[in-house]
Chain A
Amino acid sequence: MGGTIWESMQQKGYNRREFLQFCTAAAAAAGLAKTGVAQVVSAFEKKEKPAVVWMHFQECTCCSESFIRSSHPIVADALLDVLSLNYTETLMAASGFQAEKSLSDTIANNKGKYIVLVEGAVPTKDEGVYCMVGGKTAEQILQSVAADAAAIVAWGSCASNGCVQAAKPNPTGATPIYKLVNKPVINVPGCPPIADVMMGVVTHLLVLGQIPALDSQGRPKEFYGRRVHDTCYRRPNYDAGLFVEAFDDENARKGYCLYKMGCKGPVTYNACSVTRWNEGTSYPIQSGHGCIGCSEAGFWDNGPFYQHLASFPGFGIESTADTIGTAVGVATLAGVAAHAVVTNIRKRNVIAEVHAEDQKEK
């Protein structure tokens, strides 16, 4: 612990040139221009390495798995190396009391300076018994860790919006982090989030020492400002009206738009179609499958995945707003037709009077 990034790199045998290369890569990952490199160099030379604790609550560790597959290995290795990652259940060597001591020491020694990365939602039902670590509930741990944190990052959809734990009927009362703490939380949704996006957010915090610009849902604008649809390479097919009608049809082979197959790209904010996955290899739509909207709040309940419009609540899986709307429309037509017939019978005298008024002048 302690020391600057430049100091710890020197200890590990990196030379000045390699350090500058690393600074440039870090600046790029944080979305800075070439002129920002000097800022990064200065920060890495002078600032103390920030202490980081990575908490795991109700989750599947897919965020961690994604993170370690970042496509900028130099940044990934170096960051994991140069951050003081003082506590993370999945990677640390310590266990039991030693692990807990490491956490409490980090908090005590870095008050107001350490960064909290949270993976997973926090169950709040039944006094939080559904997720406990070291005899404490997830919520107790979160509160004690968050109290003196400099910044809190919610990794993935679980921590950002509850994800599958919070899907109806949400038996454990899974709650996203921003609803439980009184501090700004950087939401990095996705199931999992893109590795390079995670890296970008951490780098931003590290380099600039401040929270990146966030949108109305607490997501960094630089990565969640546009929809998967807006930058999708199949977008011209959407505007042309060329759609895949079935996964095994000619149109699917031609790579037309997957909108009619229930692709949620038009309602999903993420950087998939820009950064892509696995070292920029591909992303779901490129592989011929629609986006399931995994970075959007409540995406499990906006299903089915292969239907663009969600099912209407309370009417079964098959009923969309259109099924119900058509039924209402037909019922209305039948209603007005019946009313027209009844009018002609019940109001025949009134109608006759109207016609008779015509006769008065004759």
Chain B
Amino acid sequence: MTMSTQTTRVRDVFKLNGGAPVEYRRVYVWELPVRAYHWINAIALTLLCVTGYMIGHPVRIAYASEAYQQYWFGWVRFLHFASAWVYVFNFLARLYWGFVGNKYAKWTNFFPVTKKQQQEIVDVVKTDVLQVKMHGEISTGHNSLAAFIYFLTFIAFCIQTITGFALYSSMSSSWVPKLFNWVVPLLGGDAGVRFWHHTFLWFFVTFVIVHIYLSFYHDYIEGRGTVSSIIGGWKFDRVRSDEESNKP
């Protein structure tokens, strides 16, 4: 890029902002519990996907020839069950935070029931997915489409939790998995439950690919700290020139 084109662009930006220099305001978006939830969830989910796939397709690591000499598949299963418990309680904690957290964490974000949210979904599809619109509104927290997708992942969380506990109930003495016994006859026995539990693994694989890509995309295209916000909690909002002039 030559210097001359860059200067033109700089001028364009000044024009965009009514000629005033662009100012940014720091906004604390993701509170500590939200960030903690995100990373605990990310680690647990990764462990669950990897160990889950390995349970379905055990790798052959036979360094011994007698069963009493090794226990690696037992450890894979232990990791799966242990991360599942962490994952479930972490999710319950996030549900609680949806009621007491800040406005970006509120449960209402995840249900696109207001006209404003629905318009935002259309706007995001036009701006970021189809890219027929260059500048869309940029929300500070989740945009409405992302929030709605997260709502769908919550449903997938529930499906995995229910089917997982249903499978686990026969080998557990805890009352929690036993709450989900009723799922087994509903899905035609353990084989059916296992089938759906396994199939939903791929929902999470697909979700993770799109989720990581889109956080990088937004960071890149908007330059306001989308990726770092889930570490430190801060995002940057552009201060509009009319806001600036309204300042006392």
Interface of chain A, main secondary structure: helix
The reply to whether A240 and B135 form a contact with Cβ atoms under 8 Å apart is no
Q: Are A353 and B16 in contact (CB under 8 A)?
A: yes
A346 within 8 A of B: yes
At the interface with chain A, which of B32-40, B117-125, B202-210, B239-247? Answer: B202-210
Q: Is the CB of B64 within 8 A of A322?
A: no
Cβ-based interface call for A32 (8 A): no
Chain A interface bracket (under 10, 10 to 19, 20 to 34, 35 or more): 35 or more
Given contacts A321-B199, A336-B209, A343-B221, contact A237 B13 (CB under 8 A): no
Determine if A79 is an interface residue (Cβ-Cβ < 8 Å).
Answer: no
Check: A288 CB closer than 8 A to any chain B CB: no
Inter-chain contact B213/A347, CB cutoff 8 Å? no
A360 to B192: give the CA distance in the assembly, Å: 61
Alpha-carbon gap, A234 to B169, bound state (A): 22
B214 to chain A, nearest CB (A): 8
Q: Does B174 contact A (CB under 8 A)?
A: no
Assign chain B's interface to a size class: 35 or more
| Chain A neighbourhood of B57, CB < 8 A | 322
Q: Report A-chain residues with C-beta under 8 Å of the C-beta of B195.
A: 302, 309-310, 321
Return chain B residues, CB-CB under 8 Å to A333: 209
CB-based contact A351/B221 at 8 Å: yes
Encode B170-187 as 1/0 by CB contact (under 8 A) with A.
110000000001101100
- Residue B18 CB within 8 A of the other chain: no
Which single member of B67, B74, B77, B206 contacts A329 (CB below 8 Å)?
B206
| B190-225 interface bits toward A, Cβ cutoff 8 Å, 1 = contact, 0 = none | 111011001101100110011001000100111100
B102 interfacial by beta-carbon distance below 8 Å: no
- Does chain A have a CB within 8 A of B139? no
Quote the shortest CB–CB distance from B161 to chain A (angstroms). 18
> Pick the contact of A343 from B62, B206, B217 — CB < 8 Å?
B217
A-contacting 9-mer, from B4-12, B93-101, B144-152, B227-235: B4-12
* Interface SS majority for chain B: helix
A242 to B222 Cα, complex, angstroms:
52
Q: Is A260 an interface residue (CB 8 A)?
A: yes
**Whole-angstrom distance between the alpha carbons of A332 and B210 in the complex?**
7
| B70 contacts A by Cβ under 8 Å | yes
In the complex, A264 has a CB within 8 A of chain B:
yes
**Complex interface: chain A residues within 8 A of B66 (CB):** 240
Contacts of A133 in B (CB 8 A): none
B185 with A350: CB separation less than 8 A: no
User: A159 to chain B: closest CB distance in Å?
Assistant: 16
From A309, A339, A360, give the contact of B213 (CB < 8 A): A339
Q: Which residues of A contact B58 (CB under 8 A)?
A: 241, 243, 259-260
What B residues does A226 contact at CB under 8 A? Answer: 170
Q: Is A296 an interface residue (CB 8 A)?
A: yes
Given A296-B191, A302-B191, A339-B213: A240 touches B222 (CB 8 Å cut-off): no
Contact assessment for B13 and A328 in the assembled complex, using a CB-CB cutoff below 8 Å: no
B73 near A: Cβ within 8 Å? yes
How would residues 23 to 34 of chain A score, 1 for a CB under 8 Å from any chain B CB and 0 otherwise?
Answer: 000000000000
Query: By the criterion CB–CB under 8 Å, are B185 and A216 in contact?
Result: yes
Of chain B, the residue at the smallest CB distance from A234 is: B67
Q: How far is the CA of A264 from the CA of B188 in the complex (A)?
A: 14
Chain A residues with Cβ below 8 Å from B153 are: none
Q: Contact at A356–B202, with CB atoms within 8 Å?
A: no
Nearest residue, chain A, Cβ from B74: A239
Smallest Cβ-Cβ distance to A313: which chain B residue: B195
Interface residues of A in 270-310 (CB under 8 A from B): 293, 296-299, 302, 308-310
A325 in the interface (beta carbon within 8 A)? yes
Q: Considering only CB atoms, which chain A residue lies closest to B194 in the complex?
A: A267
Within 8 Å by CB of A239, from B59, B71, B202, lies B71
- CB-CB under 8 A from A321, the residues of chain B are 195, 198-199, 201-202
Report the separation of the CA atoms of residues A170 and B76 in the bound assembly, to the nearest whole angstrom: 40
Check B71 against A245 for contact (C-beta < 8 Å): no
CB distance from B49 to the nearest CB of A (A): 11
Q: Is A324 an interface residue (CB 8 A)?
A: yes
Of all chain B residues, which has the CB nearest A354? Answer: B223
Asked if A349 lies at the interface with its beta carbon under 8 angstroms from chain B, I say: yes
Compute how far the CA of A320 lies from the CA of B21 in the bound complex, rounded to whole angstroms: 57
Residue B22 at the A interface, CB < 8 A?
yes
A236 and B14 contact, CB distance less than 8 A: no
Q: Contacts A236-B67, A336-B209, A351-B220; is A357 near B13 (CB within 8 Å)?
A: yes
Q: Mind listing 20 A-B residue pairs with CB under 8 Å?
A: A216-B184, A230-B171, A237-B67, A238-B73, A239-B67, A239-B77, A266-B190, A298-B191, A302-B188, A309-B194, A321-B201, A325-B202, A343-B131, A347-B131, A351-B220, A355-B223, A356-B6, A356-B12, A360-B21, A361-B21
Q: Which residues of A contact B (CB under 8 A)?
A: 216-217, 226-227, 230, 236-243, 245, 254, 259-260, 264, 266-269, 293, 296-299, 302, 308-310, 312, 321-322, 324-326, 328-329, 332-333, 336, 339-340, 342-343, 346-347, 349-357, 359-361
Sample of 18 further A-B pairs with CB below 8 A, known A322-B202, A354-B222: A236-B68, A240-B66, A241-B58, A260-B58, A298-B188, A299-B191, A309-B195, A321-B201, A328-B202, A329-B205, A333-B209, A336-B209, A339-B213, A340-B217, A342-B131, A352-B1, A352-B6, A353-B13
